[in-house]
Homo-oligomer: A and B are copies of this chain.
Amino acid sequence: MVNSPTIVLLGAGNVATSLALAFQRAGLELLQIYSRSLDSAAMLSESLKCPFTTDLAEIRDDADLYVCSLKDDVLADVLARIPSFGNGLWVHTSGSLPLDVFKQFTPRAGVFYPLQTFSRRHPVPLKGVPACLETARPDDMPVLEDLAGRLNCRPVPMDSDARACLHLAAVFANNFTNSLYAQAADILSEKDLDFSLLLPLIDETARKVHEASPRQAQTGPAIRQDRRIIGKHIQWLDGHCTVEDAAQLKTVYELMTETIHRQQQ
């Protein structure tokens, strides 16, 4: 293992907060936090007992590692206004930005993308979370592998194209799945049924794909081509259902049923 790197963190959102807490738990030295918003930076730096700044000119240039957890559309602008990049390694934590956003600024650039959904309120353990790693210079890769190891992440070197592919898959597995949960909640509201009724099913649906591929795990009327139940469901969404946007739910029902049917062919 290389020496523990000193770190400057840029950002104070969900990902930045989760990483900052994980750095601290791993005994890493956080030298400074930068955030555009005084409130966020102050709150985070206070809970971490770490200096903060809202002024890009004040960012220290003597850290080993700079971790940029800023919004994708802000990063390039922030980078353009940094006076000195020093000799440290600069990484961003985005699934969808390429490595070359750093190109014109510093040769020591990389990506440390933890594939997880982070909440500010509930610190998510990083254990086993894939850390998708990329570096402009091959000899910087061990720095990121070492960092992943210290955070108990699973280091996965991949290029920007593969990371973009993974990010898109994550949108299906996380954002769209959560939207289905919300749609299920809307349906339940028709009969004043509590969303908690679905939690054991949701948990088991997630658990199943740990041991079988999603295709093997597929069940339900769509895969059985059970026209009686599919017909009843469509009819329910079509007429009898009074929840807002029942037409949208019906469109999703029909498309997902067709997709499951095609997936088996």
**Which of B158, B174, B179 touches A263 (beta carbons < 8 Å)?**
B179
Q: Taking chain A's interface residues, is the majority helix, strand, or loop, or is none over half, making it mixed?
A: helix
Copies of this chain, how many?
2
Chain A, range 188-213, C-beta contacts under 8 Å to B: 188, 190-191, 193, 195, 197-206, 208-213
| Residues on B with beta carbons closer than 8 Å to the beta carbon of A169 | 184-185, 187-188, 193, 198
Q: Write the nearest CB–CB distance from A75 to chain B, whole angstroms.
A: 12
Return the chain B residue nearest A212 by Cβ. B119
**Are B263 and A170 in contact (CB-based, < 8 A)?**
no
* With A117-B219, A206-B203 as contacts: A172 and B180 at CB distance below 8 Å: yes
Could you tell me how many residues of chain A have their Cβ less than 8 Å away from some Cβ of chain B? 89
Chain A, range 215-261, C-beta contacts under 8 Å to B: 215, 217-223, 226, 228-229, 232-233, 236-237, 245, 248-249, 251-253, 255-256, 258-260
Is A178 located at the chain interface by the 8 A CB criterion? yes
**Are A208 and B259 in contact (CB-based, < 8 A)?**
no
Q: Tell me the complex Cα distance, A175–B230, Å.
A: 12
Q: Tell me the complex Cα distance, A171–B188, Å.
A: 12
**Are B214 and A182 in contact (CB-based, < 8 A)?**
yes
Q: Write the nearest CB–CB distance from A237 to chain B, whole angstroms.
A: 8
Return the chain B residue nearest A256 by Cβ. B176
**Are A209 and B220 in contact (CB-based, < 8 A)?**
no
Closest 9 CB pairs of A and B: A175-B220, A182-B214, A181-B214, A206-B206, A169-B184, A172-B184, A169-B187, A176-B256, A173-B184
Chain A, range 95-131, C-beta contacts under 8 Å to B: 96, 115-117, 119, 122, 124, 128-130
Q: Write the nearest CB–CB distance from A16 to chain B, whole angstroms.
A: 15
Among A178, A184, A232, A249, chain B packs the most CB atoms within 10 A around the CB of: A178
| Residues on B with beta carbons closer than 8 Å to the beta carbon of A255 | 251-252, 255
Q: Tell me the complex Cα distance, A211–B124, Å.
A: 13
> What are the interface flags for A7-41 relative to B under an 8 Å C-beta threshold, 1 for contact and 0 otherwise?
00000001000000000000000000000000000
> What are the interface flags for A149-168 relative to B under an 8 Å C-beta threshold, 1 for contact and 0 otherwise?
00000001010011011101
**Are B124 and A232 in contact (CB-based, < 8 A)?**
no
**Are B128 and A170 in contact (CB-based, < 8 A)?**
no
| Residues on B with beta carbons closer than 8 Å to the beta carbon of A181 | 172-173, 177, 209, 214, 217
| Residues on B with beta carbons closer than 8 Å to the beta carbon of A202 | 173-174, 177, 206, 209
* With A209-B199, A226-B72 as contacts: A221 and B175 at CB distance below 8 Å: yes
* With A116-B200, A169-B184 as contacts: A229 and B176 at CB distance below 8 Å: no
